[in-house]
Amino acid sequence: MSIKIGLFGFGCVGQGLYDVLSKTSGIKAEIIKICVKDKNKQRSIDSSNFTFDKNELLYDDSIDVIVELIDSADEAFEIVSTALKNGKAVVTANKKMLAEHFEELYILQQENKVPLLYEASVCASIPIIRTLEEYYDNDLWIR
Beta partners for residue 116, in sequence order = 90
Greater confidence (8 vs 47) lies with: 8
pLDDT digits (tens, 9 = 90+) for 46-87: 888 999 999 999 999 999 999 999 999 999 999 999 999 999
Residues 6 or more apart from 18 whose CB is under 8 A from it?
7, 10, 31, 34, 45
Q: What global pTM score does this model have?
A: 0.83
CATH 3.40.50.300 fits 3-142, yes or no: no
Does position 35 have pLDDT exceeding 60, yes or no?
A: yes
Does position 1 have pLDDT exceeding 70, yes or no?
A: yes
pLDDT at 84: 97
pLDDT digits (tens, 9 = 90+) for 105-140: 999 999 999 999 876 655 455 454 454 455 555 555
- Indicate the burial class of 143 (C-beta count within 10 angstroms; 0-12, 13-18, 19 or more): exposed
- Report how far residue 32's alpha carbon sits from residue 10's, in angstroms, rounded to the nearest whole number: 13
